[in-house]
Structure 1
Amino acid sequence: MQTPATLPIIDLHCDLLVYLTDVPGAMQDNIDEIGCALPSLTQGNVKLQVMAIYCPTKAGSTVYSKKQSEAYKLLAEADNCLTPVKNIQELQQALKADTTGMVAAIENASGFCEEDEPLEDGFKKLEKIIEDTGQLLYISMTHSLANRFGGGNATTQGITRDGKMLLDYMHGRRIAIDMSHTSDALAFDILEHIDKEKLDVPVIASHSNFRALWQHERNLPDELVQEIIRRQGLIGVNFLRSFLNTDNPDAILDHIAYGFANGAENNICFGADYFYTADEKDASRLPFYFPDLLHAGVSYSYILNRLRERLNVNQLEQLAYRNALQFVERIWAGI
């Protein structure tokens, strides 16, 4: 029987690519600057790390994302601890290997389509990102604000015509739609369009917690939680203090226990959301992470060990890797 510290880990979200392309002097092994530095991933036994391609919605957004997809390609080709995962066979191999598997995702569809360019041109850029990375696990339409596809989590706007066309484009492509940065209105509009058009588009929330425990626009309302569960999606628990409870270091344990107690036993996983924080000017957001969640080398084993008081061995395995593994295997197999 594996102990929590030795369980393989699958994590749905980190911002290593943004750090490497946006921060002067950034290094992939700098554990002092980002919680998902490569030595931390190795120490934390992370066997699959989703690398987000993120950009803000503004002029030049696609140039910003292109740098990140190229950075992903360079990481995949470099002599390091990372191995790209593009299919089920490589995914299964990654779970047993001494290295960390990685797969790309898009956080904000502005990354492949500027606000003022033809949508068809945006889809061509999306195809180029897929070519550079070899595989995408998910796409998020928005970030915090609104764009041509719909409303971000800091808005009340729903889906647009282009957002519906993006969902139509994703039909059958074995790429999930991510709801971690949607407004509530956009999230439910996405589900309505999928159902109305009978689209084959899996749904996830890659790095979100539960609003019933902590009132924040980035956390999921119960109705959306139940829809993700009903559709056999994933909910990746976010490690950021502001989305857990700004005063309670044990809040992450409460969020995970809440998921298990409310039907998400087969859906909950990790979505740590490690990013570069040293340039933050808003002191009220500091610290971003509680001490035991500072980096991947310590956080997962800490959480799993603490949860032994609340969850059984099978549930710990589900959280650590099995739920995410089964989801990825299922959508990539087209089941």
Structure 2
Amino acid sequence: MTQTPATRLPIIDTHCDLLVYLTDVPGAATDKAEDIGCSMPRLSEGNVKLQVMAIYCPTEAGSTQYAGLQSKMFKQLAEAENCLTAIKDAAGLNQILQTTDQRVGMVAAIENASGFCEEDEPLEDGFKKLEKIIDECGTILYISFTHHAANRFGGGNNTTQGITTDGRMLLDYLHGRRIAVDLSHTSDALAHDILRHIDVERLDIPLLASHSNFRPVWHHNRNLPDELTQELIRRNGLIGMNFLRAFVNDDDPEALVQHILYGINNGAEDAICFGADYFYTLGSTDISRDPYYFKEHDQASSSYHYILNRLKDLLPEQQVHKLAYQNAARFIERIWS
């Protein structure tokens, strides 16, 4: 059987912030490769066939308006005559994975539920706003309850707070909706509370960590502890490897390969994928995080295949394919079937 070189494998990535860049930055455009690692030229050159576009907002007054601008941006991109194609079902996913042209599929996700429900508005009104986002985007792949801080649904990754009554009500609302819940920005307490409520109430809700690495490899509260890794594996979830230096290693770019090998060696061979977390960094004033990415990982045009080529002599060929696209494709197809 003819082998597919790692440099030409299709790629699925479960998290980027292109919508935030396009909404926020004056003069932003999808083709400005110098601005962001997930620009259209970068995605096409890297053979990215499905890119999850996060709708992000901080928890503050006006959060739903800010998220609404991004959902409208997603709709505009889907309707424009360019290489971005909104993917809404398993048939569309299979079709885009088989294309040999430069088209890139996209699907939306919500990074922080404050994007559809403000802190002081009725939860029912928030659910109506969520339905509007789903309608504008065609579908939503996953929802993160929080970001770094706490909100009305529970504690973010910089807190120790668990789930709230509204958080439980959100889980009940998502039962059977074919929308996954993302654990990448939860506190450990919130993640465990989400798992517990799903089990007690026997809810049908898929789970993933869209852009998180492994805490035993690099100790950071954005990375998964072993017990949550094992829960995601047990529940047929997905774990997207994050390329941000803060979550990889302060000094060693090769640590990203170690995260991947750690996950595979600990049972995540059918769960691991890419969740690079590319976002606009040129306007940042936080010099402590500079550089945000190691040069080996800083753009979609080369980073995925640099990693895959590093791994092709360390892993079976089939495992390299699983990491590139197959695990993510199977997860998404299972949700949408």
Question: For residue 47 of structure 1, what is the aligned residue in structure 2?
Answer: 49
**Of residues 314, 320, 324 in structure 1, which corresponds to 2:318?**
314
Question: For residue 262 of structure 2, what is the aligned residue in structure 1?
Answer: 258
Whole-Å Cα distance in 1 between the matches of residues 146 and 31 of structure 2? 29
C-alpha displacement of 1:309: 2.3
- 1:28 matched to 2:11? The reply is no
C-alpha displacement of 1:273: 0.2
C-alpha displacement of 1:310: 1.2
Question: For residue 109 of structure 2, what is the aligned residue in structure 1?
Answer: 105
Superposed CA offset, 1:193-213 (max 9, x none)? 000000000010000000000
**Of residues 117, 120, 139 in structure 2, which corresponds to 1:116?**
120
Question: For residue 276 of structure 2, what is the aligned residue in structure 1?
Answer: 272
Whole-Å Cα distance in 2 between the matches of residues 75 and 176 of structure 1? 23
Whole-Å Cα distance in 1 between the matches of residues 88 and 287 of structure 2? 40
Query: Gapped runs of 5+ residues in structure 2?
Result: none
* Two-structure CA RMSD over aligned residues (Å): 0.5
Q: How does 1:187-206 map to 2 (within 5 A)?
A: 187-206=191-210
Q: How does 1:157-196 map to 2 (within 5 A)?
A: 157-196=161-200
Moved over 2 A (4+): none
Paired letter, 1:313: E
Whole-Å Cα distance in 2 between the matches of residues 160 and 4 of structure 1? 45
Question: For residue 208 of structure 1, what is the aligned residue in structure 2?
Answer: 212
The number of aligned residues is 333
**Of residues 286, 291, 294 in structure 2, which corresponds to 1:290?**
294
Paired letter, 2:269: E
Whole-Å Cα distance in 2 between the matches of residues 89 and 213 of structure 1? 37
Question: For residue 38 of structure 1, what is the aligned residue in structure 2?
Answer: 40
C-alpha displacement of 1:276: 0.3
Superposed CA offset, 1:178-220 (max 9, x none)? 0000000000000000000000000100000000000001000
Paired letter, 1:144: H
C-alpha displacement of 1:79: 1.2
Question: For residue 143 of structure 1, what is the aligned residue in structure 2?
Answer: 147
Whole-Å Cα distance in 1 between the matches of residues 312 and 4 of structure 2? 13
Whole-Å Cα distance in 1 between the matches of residues 283 and 85 of structure 2? 30
Paired letter, 1:173: R
Question: For residue 86 of structure 1, what is the aligned residue in structure 2?
Answer: 88
**Of residues 124, 131, 138 in structure 2, which corresponds to 1:127?**
131
C-alpha displacement of 1:294: 1.1
- 1:236 matched to 2:240? The reply is yes
Question: For residue 308 of structure 2, what is the aligned residue in structure 1?
Answer: 304
C-alpha displacement of 1:221: 0.2
Whole-Å Cα distance in 2 between the matches of residues 34 and 160 of structure 1? 36
Paired letter, 2:163: I
> TM-score scaled to structure 2, two decimals?
0.98
Whole-Å Cα distance in 1 between the matches of residues 329 and 133 of structure 2? 23
Query: Gapped runs of 5+ residues in structure 1?
Result: none
C-alpha displacement of 1:111: 0.1
Question: For residue 14 of structure 2, what is the aligned residue in structure 1?
Answer: 12
SS of aligned partner of 2:53: strand
C-alpha displacement of 1:292: 1.1
C-alpha displacement of 1:308: 1.3
Whole-Å Cα distance in 1 between the matches of residues 16 and 96 of structure 2? 18
C-alpha displacement of 1:248: 0.4
- 1:68 matched to 2:70? The reply is yes
C-alpha displacement of 1:80: 1.1
C-alpha displacement of 1:24: 1.0
Whole-Å Cα distance in 1 between the matches of residues 212 and 122 of structure 2? 31
Whole-Å Cα distance in 1 between the matches of residues 235 and 56 of structure 2? 26
Paired letter, 1:44: G
Identity of aligned residues (%): 67
Superposed CA offset, 1:64-103 (max 9, x none)? 0000000000000111111100011111111012211100
